[in-house]
Amino acid sequence: MMKPAPIDYDTVREMLRTATPDRVLRFIGKSHPADIALLFKGLDQAEVRQLFDVLFSSRRAAKTLKELPPELLPDILALIDDDKVGRLIVRADPDDAVTFIDSLPDERRERVMALLDPERQAAVREIINYPDGTVGRLMTTDFMALPPDATAQGAIDKIRERGELESFFYLYVVDDDGKLTGVVPIRNLVIAPPARKLSEMMIADPIKADVFMDQEDAARLVAKYELLALPIVDEGGRLEGIITVDDVIDIIKEESTEDMYKMVGLAEEDRVFTPVARSVKMRLPWTILNLLTASLAASIVGLFEGTLHEIIALVTFMPVVAGVGGNGATQTATVIIRAIALGELEFSSAWKAIVKQVSVNICIAIAAGVMIAVAAGLWKSNAYLGLVLAGAMLLNLGLMAGFAGAVIPLLLKAMKLDPALGSGIIVTGLTDAFGFLSFLGLATIFRAYLV
Amino acid sequence: MMKPAPIDYDTVREMLRTATPDRVLRFIGKSHPADIALLFKGLDQAEVRQLFDVLFSSRRAAKTLKELPPELLPDILALIDDDKVGRLIVRADPDDAVTFIDSLPDERRERVMALLDPERQAAVREIINYPDGTVGRLMTTDFMALPPDATAQGAIDKIRERGELESFFYLYVVDDDGKLTGVVPIRNLVIAPPARKLSEMMIADPIKADVFMDQEDAARLVAKYELLALPIVDEGGRLEGIITVDDVIDIIKEESTEDMYKMVGLAEEDRVFTPVARSVKMRLPWTILNLLTASLAASIVGLFEGTLHEIIALVTFMPVVAGVGGNGATQTATVIIRAIALGELEFSSAWKAIVKQVSVNICIAIAAGVMIAVAAGLWKSNAYLGLVLAGAMLLNLGLMAGFAGAVIPLLLKAMKLDPALGSGIIVTGLTDAFGFLSFLGLATIFRAYLV
């Protein structure tokens, strides 16, 4: 039994320095691969090599490395020589083999591929040819398929023969051409009389996905119908592979990260310990977009220099109108983006959603407007200033924030882009600009009362 | 076989108006409950009642309603009379029964509970007594447990007898006191010789969770160790229930929503179609916090009215310093919050993370500073203005955004709060205030060169 518990990190480092590989192996050998993998995160290069060798010699390296977050793999594989990486890939499950290959730089990839036997090479190439983000790229070919006229007992014998499968939830039934015709939940197999045929107990015409289906859509299918695995078929309906519920959990986590990240202009690979240069390179284009949206706001302020020079106290309240509007817009955009991601919002009900969000923002703007109007009016002893502020709040937080926050993600989706893409930067840019326009515009109209 | 495909919505509405319940049932009856549930979203009150009755009479109501997003349940159950809700709860799986009870207003809950038979009442009360957010509250008591000396064949007979279980991935082995001693993956049962004892093929001392464990922690266990179900035990180690991988998917989705929501000051219940009044009530406190942080920025601007009055052109560039700083801080906070949520960042490596994020922000600030300095210097024909802007950018986007973005979520976590809680509002408030302070402060120092 694998002990599922964190391994004492300092002991392992100490042992890697002083003990024989055998002793290290005895110490960590009973731990779950997911726990052993965590050790790699904080080791230096020499220690990574040592730990890898310990695992490799006991044929645990592939099982362990596949548990690592994918962004850590390139740095670890870079420390291992080609020959060992090749053998790692041969020993790995097919889907993990692809993950490892994907983590190698282009020219090294070819070198390592050349070390594989032709059969494995072909299998890897087939999967690697599917575009990133499709289920074909993610599936495992490690499944069990039998003909419809196989019996329950025959199936059980096959399972016994086959030995361990990476994950085994359903038995797949395929016809002579390899076409998927049904699935047998393993529970049904357990209780079936030995002579019963698979065709008599299978679920015919099961839920399946095309090899080119988007990972996110496949994950949604698995979650919606509470499946443990989803069969993946080619255009001819032939069973090519499966994706399992643990893959789906990874996809869902990734997609959530992506949503949060895209809103504020972050690339998915930009993680907490990504090297500084890489993070900078990925964030810089978004910073430039941000400079542009901020310049829009700046140029609007520039239009009102005359009014501001006359009534300098207005400057004090500019950040309030812009800041509160920006947050209102980001709130609205977040609600909309999440609803789209969870499949709760379609274009058909978009109008209803926009009206609702604008209504919420108007109510909040009235409340916030009254508060800021009273506070500013008392502070500067000028009731008109309070009214101008309240008016600007209503226009910016009430109308613009609700509208832009709801419409921008929907517009991005209509353009076939990710609804979250840069939306935070865009909506705050818009509410900054419109906030200044409405506040300074109203102030200019009523300047006679404000001086 | 259930057809997993969207049901034509308009046809159902039309049929609810014109056809007999039997015909409606024939039309939707073969569809998957997850698809039928989607119909409820857009129906009016009378139609909701009709559709419910059709499902209820064919005993599909519980299976269908449990597929709905939980925030939609209260409105639907409000339309159904007590008696039917009571029978719905009796027929539901134990965990779904609790979900339904949870969706009733307090006084109605008692009334409906009184309609249940004593046994079910006790079962529901036991689960409902566990605090919200614990696995005890979420678990199902629908599992199969046998003594260690049961044989493989004996177990198979029991499974056959029992009929359908909601989800069935493992057989649990408990001793005479009900204490969990092992689990048998159903695959092992399939290939075991009929006379083999469960104790000989079980995984002893399996991964388990205490009834009071946080849902999120339990979800992390299931994801990390790639389990299909997690047994839940009481303080005496007795098996009380299980949570399954589909619950875990729901938890992961919820938690991701929560992270995005909390950053911008949204309550989890504030969904795209939540009634306006409820959304307003939930967002208002955060708007007030936002008004306060914005007032901090405003009061700092107020300090520099003298400088601004002298050099009104400065006002134009204030939004740039604040806006770009705010987005830099939000980016950093997002990276940190996500890393904490995914278990990639602990306090032990917090310092390393802060240093890295500040470094990234300094690099970006230098690049953005040069760009804005050149643009502003040329536009206003004043190189010093460019230098002041670049300096403010370096201080605000470089130092403050990186530092606040990394530290605020860690600080919230150290205070045992959610790392995301209001972090977007706090960090943008800080970078607004500090942006104005550094820009207008530098401008005041160098005012002689700027006029």
A256 near B CB under 8 A: yes
Distance of CA B180 to the CA centre of its chain: 30
Tell me, what's the pLDDT at B147?
96
Q: Does A272 sit within 8 Å of B345, measured CB to CB?
A: yes
The boundaries of the domain holding residue B163 are: 145-244
- Residue B335: its H or E element: helix B314-341
Chain B positions touching A272 (Cβ under 8 A) are 335-336, 338-339, 344-345, 353, 356-357
Look up residue B122 and give its two tokens.
Answer: 């006790």
Q: Which two tokens stand for residue A84?
A: 């060992």
Tokens of A213: 């289906």
Cβ–Cβ of A228/B245 closer than 8 Å? Answer: yes
* List of chain B residues whose C-beta atoms are within 8 Å of the C-beta of residue A199: none
Measured between CB atoms, does A260 come within 8 Å of chain B? yes
Q: What is the largest CA-CA distance in chain B?
A: 96
Contacts of B313 (CB under 8 A, 6+ apart): A305, B380, B385
CB contact under 8 A, A323 and B428: yes
- Is A279 an 8 Å CB contact of chain B? yes
Candidates A319, A299, A124, A450; CA nearest to B299 is A319
Looking at the fold, whether B13 and B106 belong to one and the same domain comes out as: yes
The arithmetic mean of pLDDT across residues A318-346, rounded, is 91
Two tokens, residue B255: 């938690």
What pLDDT, on the 0 to 100 scale, is given for residue A165?
A: 61
**How far is the alpha carbon of A441 from chain B, nearest alpha carbon, in Å?**
15
Residue B290 lies inside a defined structural domain of this protein: yes
pLDDT of residue A1 exceeding 50: no
Nearest-10 crossing angle of helices A82-91, A45-57: 40
Same domain? B319 vs B347: yes
Instruction: Give the whole-angstrom CA distance, residue B111 versus residue B82.
Output: 8
Q: Which two structure tokens, joined as six digits, stand for A96? A: 């993990």
- Comparing alpha-carbon positions, the chain B residue that sits nearest to A263 is B331
Question: How many separate domains does chain A show?
Answer: 3
The answer to whether residues B174 and B320 belong to one domain is no
Would you state the pLDDT for residue B126?
86
Sign of CA dihedral B366, B369, B374, B375: positive
Task: Give yes or no for residue A70 having a pLDDT over 80.
Answer: no
Please indicate, yes or no, whether the overall pTM of this predicted structure exceeds 0.95: no
Asked whether residue B90 is domain-assigned, the answer is yes
A413 vs chain B: nearest CA distance in angstroms?
A: 16
In the beta sheet, which residues pair with residue A238? A179
- Residue B51 neighbours by CB under 8 Å, 6+ apart: B12, B16, B24, B39, B40, B43
Considering chain A, what is the average pLDDT of its residues?
89
B237 and B192 fall within a common domain? yes
B316-to-A193, A305, A379, B64, B439 alpha-carbon distances in Å: 81, 8, 25, 57, 12
How many helices (H) and strands (E) in chain B? 24, 7
pLDDT at A298: 92
Helices A45-57 and A21-28: crossing angle in degrees, nearest 10, is 80
Nearest residue, CB atoms, A331 vs list B32, B265, B277: B265
Residue B138 lies in a domain: no
- Scanning A86-145 for CB atoms below 8 A from B yields none
Contact status of B334 with chain A (Cβ, < 8 Å): yes
CB-CB under 8 Å, A205 with B363:
no
Q: Encode B276-294: b = buried (16+ Cβ within 10 Å), e = exposed.
A: beebbebbbebbebbbebb
Residues A196 and A65 in one domain: no
Tell whether A316 and A368 lie within a shared domain.
Answer: yes
A115 and A163 fall within a common domain? no
Q: Which residue has the tokens 């609804």?
A: A419
Is residue A322 domain-shared with residue A418, that is, in the same domain?
yes
Kindly indicate the confidence band of residue A269, based on its pLDDT and cuts at 50, 70 and 90.
confident
The answer to the question of residue A312 being in a domain is: yes
For residues B432 and B316, state if they share a domain: yes
- Across the A:B interface, residue pairs with CB atoms under 8 Å apart total 326
DSSP three-state, residue A143: coil
- Write the burial class of residue A197 (CB in 10 Å: 0-12 exposed, 13-18 middle, 19+ buried): middle
Please say whether the dihedral angle defined by the alpha carbons of residues B302, B306, B307 and B311, taken in this order, is positive or negative: positive
CA dist., res. B320 & res. B261, Å (int): 26
pLDDT of A77: 92
* Two tokens, residue B343: 């278990």
Give residue B58's Cα distance to chain centre: 33
Spatial CA neighbour of A301 closest among A321, A324, A287: A321
- pLDDT below 70 — which residues of chain B? 1-4, 164-167
Q: For position B196, which CATH number holds?
A: 3.10.580.10
Same structural domain, A107 and A166: no
Non-local (6+) Cβ contacts of A125 within 8 A are A113
Q: What is the pLDDT of residue B234?
A: 94
Q: Does A34 touch chain B (CB under 8 A)?
A: yes
Tokens read off for A90: 């041969």
- Structural tokens at position A433: 């600009």
Q: Which residues of B82-91 are buried (b: 16+ CB within 10 A; e: fewer)?
A: eebbbbbbee
pLDDT digits over B259-280, tens only? 889 988 998 888 888 889 999 9
Taking CB atoms and an 8 Å limit, are A371 and B291 in contact across chains?
Answer: yes
The alpha helices in A380-422, defined as continuous H runs, are: 383-393, 402-414
* pLDDT band at residue A90 using 50, 70 and 90 as cut-offs: confident
Among candidate residues B227, B244, B261, the one where a domain is terminated = B244
User: What CATH number is attached to the domain comprising B51?
Assistant: 1.25.60.10
The percent of residues above 90 in pLDDT, for chain A, comes to 53
Rounded Cα gap, residues A62 and A438, in angstroms: 61
Judging by DSSP bridges, how do beta strands B170-174 and B145-146 pair with one another? Answer: parallel
Question: Helix (H, G, I), strand (E, B), or coil: what is residue A209?
Answer: strand
What pLDDT does B167 receive?
A: 64
> What pLDDT does B1 receive?
35
Packing angle of the helix pair A350-379, A383-393 (nearest 10 deg): 160
Closest-CA residue to A94 (of A243, A227, A236): A243
Last residue of a domain, one of B130, B162, B194: B130
The minimal CB distance from A186 to the residues B186, B221, B349 is found for B186
Q: Which residue of B has its CA nearest to A37?
A: B224
Question: For residue B345, which residues of chain A lie inside 8 Å, CB to CB?
Answer: 272
Most A CBs within 10 Å, among B305, B316, B423, B444, to test the A interface: B316
Helix (H) or strand (E) holding B180: strand B180-185
Task: Determine the pLDDT at residue B2.
Answer: 44
What are the pLDDT digits (tens) for A407-421? 999 999 999 998 999
pLDDT of residue B259: 86
**Residues B124 and B161 grouped into a single domain:** no
The answer for A 75-94 residues in CB contact with B (under 8 A) is none
Give me the residues of B, 188-227, that contact A with CB < 8 A.
189-191, 203-207, 221, 223-226
Residue at which a domain ends, from A129, A154, A173? A129
Q: Please give the helix or strand (H or E) that residue A445 lies within, else none.
A: helix A423-445
Token pair 């978004």 in the structure block, residue:
A286
Give bridge partners of residue B31 from the DSSP assignment.
B3
Distance CA A32, CA A25 (A): 13
| Residues A428, B327: C-beta atoms closer than 8 Å | yes
B229 token code pair: 């179900």
CA distance B119 to B125: 10
Cα torsion B190, B196, B197, B202: sign: negative
Q: CB contact, 8 Å: A335 with chain B?
A: yes
Residue B259 in any domain: the answer is no
* A362 lies in some domain: yes
pLDDT over 50 at A75, yes or no? yes
Q: Which pair of tokens denotes residue A256?
A: 């959530």
Alpha-carbon distance of B49 to B58, in angstroms, equals 14
Query: For B27-81, how does the pLDDT look when each residue is reduced to its tens digit (9 = 90+)?
Result: 888 888 888 888 887 788 888 999 999 999 888 899 899 888 777 888 899 999 9
Across the interface, which of A266, A345, A360 has its CB nearest the CB of B331? A266
Please tell me whether residues A431 and A292 are part of one structural domain: yes
Paired strand residues for A229: A244
Mean pLDDT within A189-198: 90
Q: Nearest 5°: CA angle at A151, between A185 and A174?
A: 65
Among positive and negative, which fits the CA dihedral B361, B367, B370, B376? negative
Residue A271 domain-assigned? Answer: no
Chain A hits for B205, Cβ within 8 Å: 1
Which CATH number is A352's domain given?
A: 1.10.357.20
CA A366 to chain centre: 37
pLDDT, residue A135, reads 94
B288 part of a folded domain:
yes
